[in-house]
Amino acid sequence: MISQVLADFVGQIKANINTEIQMRTRDEGDLDRIKTKYGPEVLQGLVKASVGTGMVENPAYNRGRPYFVSFRPLLHNTQRLSDEELEKYNKYNEQIDDLQYQIEQLEELKQDVFDLKLQLKLSLDKVKQGNFNMVEIYLQELVPRVEKMWVKLGKTPKKRELKLIDINSLKEEMKKAEESRKAFEQNNPQQQSAEKKEEKKILKYEKVVEFNKALNFNNGVSVTSLQELLDVMPNITGPTFKHHVNSERNDIADWIEKNFDDKELADKLRAAKNNEEYVKILEEDKAKNNKPIDEKKSENQKADSNQDNVNNINQNDVNSSNQNKVSTLNNNQNSSNNQEQGQNNQKQESYDSWDSLKGKLSELRDEDKIKHLEDVRKKNPKDLNILFSLALLYHKLKNYDASEKIYKEILSFDPKNYKALYYLGGLMKSQKKFEEAANYFNKYLEIKDDPKIKELLDKMKSMK
């Protein structure tokens, strides 16, 4: 059989063996191989290729030179799903899982469930397609049929229970891993010192920021380094470019200045008018200024930011522009709060510096951070650093009542605290309390002029 195939399909087999297809890649080995084999122009074309486009090469075609093929357009939408759609996905998936569990029980009781399983599969397929009207039609028929079978049997189905991993067992495993690591470091001091020696400085365009500090474009593209930004910039055109770069905002320049401390490059980009100029500026900057940066300094900044990350509101239903604003406010929180802290400390019992407290907190889990902060709070009831950190931790862990109580406590002695008003608005929105959210956001706007919040308020009007 194999010999017959080899004899009958010589051309096809040679074509498969000799054809090389390379989609866009970030792997250095692939990039070096393509650059060596086909030259820098082909490499640049591959790196800048859009999604779904790949390099194809076969010696029998195009004189052996690679060419690029767009295999298919995107079959999915890169835009974020709305909160309403996400709620429907969760609702119907939960309902289908419950029906699946009931049907399995009926099958164990020797009931004929073939039609039920078929209809359930159709419902699940429609959920995957996002066709919720058809899902509703299928379920309106399926649910009564399942209930009728249980009534006929004179039995009640068992409720589906989600089995969760015990948090204590997770903590024990984490503790064992930490102890094992410490023991390894004690027994292998030479290897540990060798690892430190191997630490090397990274180039400016190779520095990768943490994922929660990535630059997120509204077309679904996310970048975490200047090199990635340079790679994707040729494809950031039209509405996407205008959304992020306009008379009111420049997300790209702000991201560079904030995460790479390069005001000069950021100012050059602010003066540019289109994505072609952006690419040119970035390429020139890379050629002149892509030098090693101080790794220790970078790591120190990263360590300082670990505690600041506590301040990020981890919620899925706040839109991306709102999340960017939350991040901006969190990064500015320490500087403004430190000034207010100096005034508060004159009236209350002092503690070690906020920086030292942040160092302690960075080593703790969220639950332990809350416990430690609550202890310190007893002696410093009006300390804004402590109160904001506690409120945001409670918010992150979805203890909304505790978070709301602290924000309101801040407003009780500082009614014009715009951060508390902002976070309370976000907290209310995450709970679908849109009227209360609008109330706090409007009070916030009386103090701060924020186009993003005005845009959010307009969207919220349609959610009520």
**The predicted structure's pLDDT at residue 331:** 41
Q: How, if at all, do strands 222-223 and 215-216 pair?
A: antiparallel
How far is residue 97's CA from residue 31's CA, in Å, rounded to a whole number?
45
| 271: pLDDT strictly greater than 50 | yes
**The predicted structure's pLDDT at residue 323:** 41
**The predicted structure's pLDDT at residue 11:** 61
Q: How large is the angle between the packed helices 418-430 and 320-345, nearest 10 degrees?
A: 140
Structural element, H or E, at residue 354: helix 354-361
Q: When comparing pLDDT for 322 and 362, which is higher?
A: 362
How far is residue 266's CA from residue 253's CA, in Å, rounded to a whole number?
4
The lowest-confidence range among 121-130, 308-317, 433-442 is 308-317
pLDDT-based confidence at residue 74 (cuts at 50, 70, 90): low
* 16: number of Cβ within 10 Å: 10
pLDDT-based confidence at residue 211 (cuts at 50, 70, 90): low
Domain ranges in the chain are: 2-70, 83-153, 167-198, 202-293, 304-461
How far is residue 393's CA from residue 390's CA, in Å, rounded to a whole number?
5
How far is residue 243's CA from residue 346's CA, in Å, rounded to a whole number?
46
SS3 content of the chain, % helix, strand, coil (to 5): 70, 5, 25
Q: Please state the rounded mean pLDDT for residues 185-201.
A: 64
**The predicted structure's pLDDT at residue 343:** 41
Q: Please state the rounded mean pLDDT for residues 46-69.
A: 80
CA atoms within 13 A on the CB side of 210: 15
**The predicted structure's pLDDT at residue 63:** 77
Q: When comparing pLDDT for 43 and 226, which is higher?
A: 226
Q: Which of 59-68, 134-143, 158-167 has the highest mean pLDDT?
A: 134-143
Rounded to an integer, what is the distance from CA 27 to the centroid of its chain? 22
**The predicted structure's pLDDT at residue 78:** 54
| 97: pLDDT strictly greater than 90 | yes
408-434 pLDDT, tens digit per residue, is: 999 988 888 888 898 888 888 888 888
Q: Please state the rounded mean pLDDT for residues 74-84.
A: 66
**The predicted structure's pLDDT at residue 149:** 92
**The predicted structure's pLDDT at residue 360:** 73
pLDDT-based confidence at residue 327 (cuts at 50, 70, 90): very low
Task: Name which of 77, 80, 79 is nearest 316 in CA terms.
Answer: 80
Integer CA distances (angstroms), 99 to 44, 106, 124, in order:
52, 10, 11
To the question of pTM greater than 0.85 for the whole model, the response is no
Lookup: tokens for 15: 């074509």
| 144: pLDDT strictly greater than 90 | yes
How far is residue 457's CA from residue 263's CA, in Å, rounded to a whole number?
32
Q: Please state the rounded mean pLDDT for residues 66-93.
A: 77
How far is residue 215's CA from residue 228's CA, in Å, rounded to a whole number?
10
| 289: pLDDT strictly greater than 60 | yes
How far is residue 8's CA from residue 258's CA, in Å, rounded to a whole number?
63
Integer CA distances (angstroms), 350 to 54, 341, 354, in order:
62, 10, 10
Residues 6+ apart with CB under 8 A from 430: 313, 315, 317, 318, 400
Q: When comparing pLDDT for 229 and 24, which is higher?
A: 229
Residues 6+ apart with CB under 8 A from 458: none
**The predicted structure's pLDDT at residue 429:** 83
**The predicted structure's pLDDT at residue 336:** 42
| 10: pLDDT strictly greater than 80 | no
Class of domain 304-461: mainly alpha
* 127: number of Cβ within 10 Å: 21
**The predicted structure's pLDDT at residue 256:** 92
365-377 pLDDT, tens digit per residue, is: 778 888 888 888 8
Q: Which of 45-54, 137-146, 203-212 has the highest mean pLDDT?
A: 137-146
Residue 268 identity? K
Rounded to the nearest integer, the mean pLDDT of the chain is: 77
pLDDT-based confidence at residue 95 (cuts at 50, 70, 90): very high
| 32: pLDDT strictly greater than 50 | yes
**The predicted structure's pLDDT at residue 154:** 92
Q: Which residues pair with 292 in a beta bridge?
A: 203
| 60: pLDDT strictly greater than 80 | no
Residues 6+ apart with CB under 8 A from 102: 146, 150, 157
**The predicted structure's pLDDT at residue 142:** 92
Percent of the chain with pLDDT over 70: 76
